[in-house]
Amino acid sequence: MITGQQLNEYRDRGYLVLEGFASEAECDELRTRAAELVQQFDPAEVVSIFSTYEQNRLTDDYFLTSGDKIRFFFEENAFNDDGTLKYKKEKSINKIGHALHDLDPVFGKFSRSDKIKQLASAMGFEDSLLLQSMYIFKQPNIGGEVTCHQDSTFLYTEPLDIAGLWFALEDATTENGCLWVIPGGQQRGLKSRWVRAPQGGMKFETFDETPWPEDQLVPLEVSKGSLILLHGLLPHRSFENRSTRSRHAYTLHLIKASAKYPEDILLKRRGPPRGF
Ligand SMILES: O=C(O)CCC(=O)C(=O)O
């Protein structure tokens, strides 16, 4: 599943690509299920625009209380000036989050499969909890960028120890907005933390003002079925998708059962996260 050498590589660089981790059939099953969920979703219920620039909007209640729900977030550029959608609903949604792994049987089966459990165990997350999941569409033409960040900024635990699992459900290239990482950047420590602001909403508590050395970013072009493991402190980002091809991915974030996380952690959920 994962060799000692790969584990060392993960520790040194902060990421690891495991090609062919998910089968074609598994990828297609998740894609089909996501399409069904979108079909059942009525956009009139809510319009919540996901953008890493507009933290105020991002912090709206719909987002902050989605830790134990299946909710839908639109691309920022999905709308015309009059608020109508530019493209069809299924080509406008940025992501679904954040409890697919708990609430949906298809995503649940995949997320709690033996091979993911074994991998988690090999990474030292044998006693882990599945904190959140996301289905990211990176839509053709309008897929928004995700600015450089560390996942631990948003999923803060004490000690700082989370693992991100990013599954490519389609080929991801520089054209359609693949992930970019700063190899070894996890060694720089945590740059900021997202906390609840006293006046409501969220704010960043910054520990290190130094800008990310984005000239050190390298693209991770991967084929469908690949899994990218991301250390919680690894700086990473993705650029806009201006191509005509989507770039679907499914992500899972694991924390250790022994870890503590403060009350002001990003997403509220009723009840603690569950393990495998
Ligand atoms: O899939 C992407 O484009 C970026 C996802 C990401 O970095 C994240 O959700 O933390």
Residues 143-160 have pLDDT tens digits of 999 999 999 999 999 999
Q: Is the pLDDT of residue 272 over 80?
A: yes
26 touches ligand 1 (CB under 6 Å): no
pLDDT at 43: 82
Q: What distance in Å separates the CA atoms of residue 69 and residue 123, rounded to the nearest whole number? A: 27
Q: Is the pLDDT of residue 6 over 90?
A: yes
Residue range 206-226, pLDDT digits in tens: 999 999 999 999 999 999 999
pLDDT at 270: 80
Q: What's the token pair of residue 124? A: 């030292």
Local confidence band at 201 (pLDDT 50, 70, 90 cut-offs): confident
Residue labelled with tokens 């599943």 = 1
Query: How much distance in Å is there from the Cα of 238 to the middle of ligand 1?
Result: 7
Instruction: Give the end-to-end CA distance of the chain in Å, rounded to a whole number.
Output: 18
pLDDT at 127: 92
Query: How much distance in Å is there from the Cα of 188 to the middle of ligand 1?
Result: 20
Question: How many Cβ atoms sit within 10 Å of the Cβ of residue 127?
Answer: 13
Q: What is the H or E stretch that residue 7 is in?
A: helix 4-13
99 touches ligand 1 (CB under 6 Å): no
Q: Which of 96, 137, 179 to mutate to test the pocket of ligand 1 (most atoms within 8 A of CB)?
A: 179
Q: Is the pLDDT of residue 264 over 70?
A: no
pLDDT at 49: 47
Question: Mean pLDDT for the chain?
Answer: 91
136 touches ligand 1 (CB under 6 Å): yes
249 touches ligand 1 (CB under 6 Å): yes
Q: What distance in Å separates the CA atoms of residue 265 and residue 50, rounded to the nearest whole number? A: 18
Q: Is the pLDDT of residue 58 over 60?
A: no
pLDDT at 31: 98
Residue labelled with tokens 């870890």 = 259
pLDDT at 182: 98
Q: Is the pTM of this model over 0.85?
A: yes
Q: Whose CA is nearest to atom 7 of ligand 1?
A: 237
Q: What distance in Å separates the CA atoms of residue 193 and residue 232, rounded to the nearest whole number? A: 12
236 touches ligand 1 (CB under 6 Å): yes
pLDDT at 128: 93
Q: Whose CA is nearest to atom 10 of ligand 1?
A: 151
SS3 content of the chain, % helix, strand, coil (to 5): 25, 30, 45
